[in-house]
Structure 1
């Protein structure tokens, strides 16, 4: 039997982790992937016609490519095939609820309506968490039977447990990596670290670059136990994760922050590293009260972060126990086999 084909439509980044994992999973399900990256998103339909792009079984518009949905939909109508979109985020949610942009209510409503119109062109809309599913349904008015959840996960071929690296003098490193956007709450991390200034064996490292980096560096002045590092290449990230003892997720208190499970949480859990992050209903119900592996605290609360770190570092053996739980949580809830199963369910509804 001939493998079914999917046309990946849009000006997408093949190397972005969400796309890499989805593509790997689809290939394991024996789908043939064909890429179409139009020169200009708005004219994608015309270019596809001129280039005589062959009909496939499905069209997939990957994450962040809302601009490509309209032209992909037009092509799907022409060829009578199903359109699947995997936006990962709502651009309306990001622009209006996360960023500090101040829009008039009428303009914010226009942004929302446009995205709602785009999402409703699809036959299936993929979300990465149940909270994003709720947003798509309640705020963007997508029909419930069109929405399916597929977790982001981590690339298990590179994010995997390793033997613990022995460190001298009982030193412990707390690591955050990210893009220093407000959702991540990096100032919460710096303020928590400052509360533990007397613990000279504890090193806090913030890795990456972004809008709040300079603010964090200013906050961290005269704090010799707080360090900053530049962005690490994606393929070198697992090695950097394993050099640390405890990983940090996100701590922002925005509605957007409450809807996501960030890449760094998946990746740390896959590496078998304990993660501290803000509490959120986006996580599966069976791990929301976890005491090991992943530790949840209230958002925007430096004191709570300090206390969570302190409990772990006061009993170093508890970190090793917690690390085992971290990978177990990943395997049970977010592994690639689970993602593949979720994708199978998606295609069973449109086949």
Structure 2
């Protein structure tokens, strides 16, 4: 059973459900949509937040009733964003002796306090978030995150046992991000970033790299909005690189066109510890599309590429000069002229994700 208010607007969640179905498990979905359409929950308008909060609260009586009436499952999977779901379900799952696998995916405390620095670690909200997440981890039989580096963080920060936490790569929707068949035929080379404007992504580093590129034949495109949009807007108003353009939004299904036409795609460049532990959606999507990639080095990325991979350059965090040098190196190498990453794609294919999820479910059922 997949249960809760999980956010099907997130590729992570859609791929999780798809992988569970592909694993051969019989899936019964009991789902109340709350978060769909909220790309960045930290910048929601007050009215939207209140409306979704009310919908969130009203969803639980129905969800619990459906769980109680459904045939007893072998295991319940709670998807992201399930921090409250897993606590609500805790008593009822224990009553029916059903193990609960919670796809925490990431730490809210780490995101809000340590990465985005929206509140200080001494703020009451920080203490509340930490206590909430600590309790949620104990309400689940197994906690799932996206990388082993993230798993190590959860084990250390919340004092969890080695077998309590497992990891599954995010992956990419192969039908949306197939290997690119088009190429940039212009003399000027194209460098593309897309994503939320949050500290983890290091947008300022990209802007500085574009500024350092000066008169080189490089065109930089950044696509996105979010928490730091005003900061980036001020940077560009003060001294905008002539070669950089900013598009606030592109439909999800059209992102692959920008990836395909790029000579180099960009990942994340933030300096936080979290930025080093994760492998973001865009990395898997760019690899799925077979395009050259520059992103920051860290233990998370090393889980995917090991000591390195053709067409991928890993750079230090918050280092515009290193970013620019890596972009120029990939262009000089000519990686953009061919399909790349076939070996890496198999690491996060739907078959690989399904096998990993199957192993996790069997661990808690047997």
SS in 2 for 1:283: helix
Tell me which residue corresponds to 2:93: 76
Residue 96 (structure 1) aligned with residue 96 (structure 2)? no
User: How does 1:52-131 map onto structure 2 within 5 Å?
Assistant: 52-54=68-70, 55-100=72-117, 101-104=119-122, 108-131=126-149
Tell me which residue corresponds to 1:347: 361
Is the Cα–Cα contact under 8 Å of residues 41 and 68 in structure 1 kept in the other structure? no
SS in 2 for 1:74: helix
Tell me which residue corresponds to 1:197: 214
Task: Output the aligned Cα RMSD.
Answer: 2.2
**Hey, which bits of structure 1, 4+ residues long, moved more than 6 A?**
none
Is the Cα–Cα contact under 8 Å of residues 264 and 292 in structure 2 kept in the other structure? yes
Q: Which moved more, 1:279-288 or 1:17-26?
A: 279-288
Residue 37 (structure 1) aligned with residue 32 (structure 2)? yes
1:41 Cα deviation (Å)? 5.1
Is the Cα–Cα contact under 8 Å of residues 137 and 143 in structure 2 kept in the other structure? yes
Is the Cα–Cα contact under 8 Å of residues 101 and 144 in structure 2 kept in the other structure? yes
Tell me which residue corresponds to 2:350: 336
Residue 140 (structure 1) aligned with residue 181 (structure 2)? no
User: How does 1:194-343 map onto structure 2 within 5 Å?
Assistant: 194-199=211-216, 201-220=217-236, 221-285=239-303, 287-290=305-308, 292-315=310-333, 317-320=334-337, 323-324=339-340, 326-331=341-346, 333-343=347-357
Q: Which moved more, 1:121-130 or 1:103-112?
A: 103-112
1:43 Cα deviation (Å)? 7.0
Is the Cα–Cα contact under 8 Å of residues 128 and 150 in structure 1 kept in the other structure? yes
1:50 Cα deviation (Å)? 4.3
Residues 16-70 of structure 1 show CA distances to partners (whole Å, capped at 9, x for unaligned) of 2011111111111232231232876567664445455313332211112201111
TM-score scaled by structure 2? 0.86
Question: Take 1:106 and 1:300, find their aligned partners in 2: how far apart are those partners?
Answer: 30
Question: Take 1:296 and 1:319, find their aligned partners in 2: how far apart are those partners?
Answer: 17
Question: Take 2:276 and 2:263, find their aligned partners in 1: how far apart are those partners?
Answer: 25
Is the Cα–Cα contact under 8 Å of residues 66 and 87 in structure 1 kept in the other structure? yes
Q: Which moved more, 1:56-65 or 1:211-220?
A: 211-220
Q: Which moved more, 1:231-240 or 1:202-211?
A: 231-240
Is the Cα–Cα contact under 8 Å of residues 10 and 37 in structure 1 kept in the other structure? yes
Provide structure 2 residue ranges, at least 5 long, that are not aligned to the other structure.
34-53
Question: Take 1:222 and 1:43, find their aligned partners in 2: how far apart are those partners?
Answer: 47
SS in 2 for 1:176: strand
Is the Cα–Cα contact under 8 Å of residues 182 and 252 in structure 1 kept in the other structure? yes
Is the Cα–Cα contact under 8 Å of residues 249 and 264 in structure 1 kept in the other structure? yes
Is the Cα–Cα contact under 8 Å of residues 10 and 41 in structure 1 kept in the other structure? no
Residues 128-169 of structure 1 show CA distances to partners (whole Å, capped at 9, x for unaligned) of 10111011111012222121111100011221112232413x
Residues 305-328 of structure 1 show CA distances to partners (whole Å, capped at 9, x for unaligned) of 01111222334x24335x42x333
Tell me which residue corresponds to 1:10: 4
